[in-house]
Amino acid sequence: MGQRIFSTLLLWTIVLVSIGVFGKTGGVWLVTLISALTLREFYSLVRRFGVDPFDRFGIVLGILLTLAPKYLEPYGAGTLELVALSVIVFSIRILGERDSHNRVETLGWTLFGVIYVPFMLHFLVRILLIEGPTAQTGVLLGVWLIAVSKFCDVGALLAGLAFGRNKMAPNISPKKTWEGAVGGLLTSALVGAALAYFGASHLPAGLTPMLAAVIALPIAALAIVSDLVESIIKRRADAKDAGKTIPGIGGVFDLSDSLILTAPVGSVIFALL
């Protein structure tokens, strides 16, 4: 637990310093680094299935996908074009590469990795680039989404330890309980409301503390689902953690998992404010 707390504080320090010093650009590159490392760990897990994905080219495409909203879309090259390019390239490569008995699996898992990790996380970059009342609007919306998603995990852990009785998904993640999930949802709502209150001058006027608390609930629920999906993948790979990069937490995938489903939903919601 001590290592987990230390790693969490250190990671939040890195996030805040990167954004504080380099602004939106720092946030974009930090998300891109997380996306690339997450996809790398995803492909490492897939290898334990007995599948050999096109990981190097997949990671390169993933980096381009994550950076696209800031650096490529102004020149007419967007994420959809990059996704189409990945399908074309991997389809051509599969004709003459890999063992014949698992070429379909290789193609499927390689493409799923590109869609599931960098394509989904690139929506967090879109959030960072949102214009608003001040130059910091998009950055604070990104911090809001990350905080709501990740503090759900913290609240669920603490509530589960204190009150957990009923298993939520014993065949997927035996330690998760319904009591913990409720604690996570409430924690996210409180964090979302607090950030909306203290950051009101930089956030869209429509994002009141009450609305922020309401929005935080489905986002937190998706964070739980996203964590369970990662658990399914790790269980299939017979791995406890996605990696050992972060003491007390595991791999980068164990850190970013909850953002994979919440980033696109947050991007859609913020566009409506």
Domain containing residue 249: 2-272
pLDDT at residue 16 in the model: 74
Check whether 21 has a pLDDT greater than 80: no
> What is the pTM assigned to this prediction?
0.92
**pLDDT confidence of 149, banded at 50, 70, 90?**
very high
Long-range contacts of 94-99 (CB under 8 A, 24+ apart): 97/54, 98/52, 99/52
Give the lowest-confidence range in 110-114, 255-259, 262-266. Answer: 255-259
Q: What is the pairing mode between strands 167-169 and 173-177?
A: antiparallel
How many domains in the chain?
A: 1
pLDDT digits (tens, 9 = 90+) for 199-255: 999 999 899 999 999 999 999 999 999 999 999 999 999 888 776 767 666 788 988
**pLDDT confidence of 22, banded at 50, 70, 90?**
confident
Provide the mean pLDDT of the chain: 90
DSSP characters over 181-228: HHHHHHHHHHHHHHHHHHTTTTS-TT--HHHHHHHHHHHHHHHHHHHH
